[in-house]
């Protein structure tokens, strides 16, 4: 009987087959036993054990996984829109500074051509010549809201500079004046004053009688 048991055990060893792996109570497979060859030098093992062995060999030889990429940089802060009020104030300061670089040519009623050319030159400095030449009493169509504010600033600056250039006697002849409207004031100074001066007559007493002198303007 003992001999039969030993023969049976020896036969089991001679096959070279791996005994089935036992699992622990929690279902985790026990460590895989090392296969031993049979007398013929052949090793046999269960398919599951072969797959597990291959996975272990591959894992042992595989290079370590690359490190995860760094997180993307945070999105840049959006550029804040510039404040239109601040832009308008800065524009007015720059335009006023440009006008201040030129001296004011006064209009006393006798130097029309000199005054006109000098004032148009002043208007060119701040890009406001069209306000006068084209009689722009309102901002032209098609301007953005910010460009409209710039236009209003140019008109106001030209209006105030024009008033500054008119001597008191000339200013009194203009009657009512629309505030901050450079084109309207320019019309009064250029059109009305030119007409009035060309038609005015100065009476000069020479001692005897009177001589009527007409002043015409080109």
Number of domains in the chain: 1
Task: Note whether residue 3 is domain-resident.
Answer: no
CA dihedral 28, 34, 38, 43 (to 10 degrees): 70
Task: Note whether residue 32 is domain-resident.
Answer: no
Domain that holds residue 196: 84-214
Task: Give kind and range of the element (H or E) at residue 212.
Answer: strand 211-214
For 52-108, the pLDDT digits (tens) are 777 777 776 667 778 888 888 877 766 567 889 999 999 999 999 999 999 999 998
Task: Note whether residue 95 is domain-resident.
Answer: yes
For 152-181, the pLDDT digits (tens) are 999 999 999 999 999 988 888 888 888 999
Task: Give kind and range of the element (H or E) at residue 213.
Answer: strand 211-214
Q: Is the entire prediction scored with pTM above 0.85?
A: no
Task: Note whether residue 9 is domain-resident.
Answer: no
Task: Note whether residue 93 is domain-resident.
Answer: yes
Burial 133-155 (b: 16+ CB within 10 A, else e): eeebeebeeeeeeeeebbbebbb
Task: Note whether residue 79 is domain-resident.
Answer: no
């Amino acid at each position: 009987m003992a001999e039969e048991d030993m023969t049976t055990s020896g036969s089991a060893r001679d096959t070279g087959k791996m005994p089935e792996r036992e699992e622990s109570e929690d279902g985790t497979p026990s460590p895989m036993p090392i296969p031993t060859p049979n007398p013929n030098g052949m090793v046999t093992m269960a398919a599951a054990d072969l797959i597990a062995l291959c996975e272990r060999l591959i894992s042992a030889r595989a290079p370590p996984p690359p490190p995860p990429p760094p997180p993307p940089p945070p999105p840049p802060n959006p550029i804040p829109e510039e404040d239109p009020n601040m832009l308008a104030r800065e524009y007015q300061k720059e335009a006023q500074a440009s006008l201040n670089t030129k001296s004011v040519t006064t209009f006393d009623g006798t130097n029309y051509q000199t005054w006109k050319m000098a004032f148009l030159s002043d208007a060119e400095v701040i890009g406001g010549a069209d306000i006068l030449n084209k009689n722009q009493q309102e901002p032209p169509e098609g301007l953005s809201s910010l460009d409209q504010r710039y236009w209003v600033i140019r008109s106001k600056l030209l209006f105030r500079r024009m008033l500054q250039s008119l001597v008191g006697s000339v200013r009194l002849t203009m009657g009512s004046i629309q505030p901050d409207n450079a084109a309207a004031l320019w019309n009064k100074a250029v059109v009305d004053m030119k007409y009035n001066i060309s038609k005015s007559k100065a009476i000069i007493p020479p001692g005897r009688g009177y001589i009527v002198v007409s002043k015409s303007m080109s």
